Structure formats: structure tokens, C-alpha cells
A and B are shown apart, each in its own frame.
Chain A
Amino acid sequence: GAVVSQHPSRVICKSGTSVKIECRSLDFQATTMFWYRQFPKKSLMLMATSNEGSKATYEQGVEKDKFLINHASLTLSTLTVTSAHPEDSSFYICSATSGRYSYEQYFGPGTRLTVT
């Protein structure tokens, strides 16, 4: 089956620094990738949708200047949390589909971000 990886699996950074999370589709071309944030004991909150080669579409309430998303190739999307604050600490999950009409999303294992 289709596999999506994320790197790193967990990261600790200091307030004010930036951290980059990578999401890769290992055995298929992901024309669309999604970034989610999961709060403790709560559901996945969609942050943004990114299509290869174009700007990401952010959900309402998500700061695009704070959460920079780049989808430069069909197998890689990156989420950069800029000027991180402790409240950005969360579990970030990416998913990918192989096309607009592909219904199934393949999820990465997630990245645990802790901002101290």
C-alpha cells in the first residue's frame, strides 16, 4: 500500500526558533497533501491543503505566515513553524492523495512538536 513518512517523528525547539517538518510519499506521487494538527484527546484539525507547484490553501484561523507550507515536488511537502511558541506544541500529521479524484488519504505517522 501507499506509504507516507514524516520527519522528524518528534522535535523539541526553543521559543522563537523555527522548525521544519517533512512529509514524503514514498511509493506514489502525491498531487495533494494535507496538514493536520491534533490536540490532546481531540480530533484532527485541518490546517491547510497543498497542491504540488502551487500555494497552499489555509483553513480559516490558521496563520499562513506562521505555518509555512511548501509542496515543491510530487513526493515532498514541508511545514515550517516559524517563531515557535509553547502554544504551538502539538502533534502534526500530514496525509497525501494521488489525485483530486482519489478518495483515499494516506496518513503519515505524525510529528510531535514541543516548544520550550
Chain B
Amino acid sequence: AQRVTQPEKLLSVFKGAPVELKCNYSYSGSPELFWYVQYSRQRLQLLLRHISRESIKGFTADLNKGETSFHLKKPFAQEEDSAMYYCALRDTGGFKTIFGAGTRLFVKA
């Protein structure tokens, strides 16, 4: 069964500290993995996808098929990074997307 697990509901770090938001998935094929972000009072928006292998707002995420993980990382957190982050898996057989439960990142000054 397809599943996306984000073990941390809340992650609190100090400004300038490294941050890693964990995401593990279960999927029988080759999935597409995404990270979505929702800032306060804003709608959900795409942050990055594993295929593009790019850094967005200083965030990167590497797909580790052996560990079935897609953790989101940033070396130096900023206060404006405080938001809700959702890891998502897209069924390449179709196009529906399954979301994890989300992790709230709080960056303290």
C-alpha cells in the first residue's frame, strides 16, 4: 500500500541551525516524491520535487530508495522558514498524490 510517513509533528530549531524534516514512504514502484509547504494563512504550494534535484530557498531533498526516505534539509534555518511541510508521493501509474501528516517547523530567533 502507498504510504507517506512524517514521524515528527513539530520540529523546533534556532535560527541558523541545520534542519532536517524526515519523510519515509512505501510504494511498490518508482514513485515521484515532493515536498509541499504551507506558510501561515497561505495555501499549500510546491517546494521541490525529487526529479529536479534542485535547491529551493536553500532546501534540498535526496531520494534514498534503499531507505525509502526523502528527507528535507537546510543547513541554516531562517525564521521565514517557519511553516507546515508536507511530504507527498505521486502515483506514477496514475496521478493522484498521497500526503504525509505534515511537520510543523518553528524557527526561533
User: A residues bordering B, Cβ < 8 Å?
Assistant: 32, 34, 36, 41-44, 46, 49, 93, 95, 97, 100, 103-105, 107-110
Contacts and interface: CB of A to CB of B under 8 A. Distances in A.
A34 B96 contact: yes
Given A93-B44, A108-B43, A42 B101 contact: yes
Interface string B43-67: 1111001010000000000000000
B101 A32 contact: no
A82 to B, nearest CB: 23
Contacts of B100: 43
B94 to A, nearest CB: 8
Interface in B63-108: 86, 90, 94-102
B46 A105 contact: yes
A107 B38 CA distance: 10
Contacts of B96: 34, 46, 49
B44 A107 contact: yes
Contacts of A109: 43
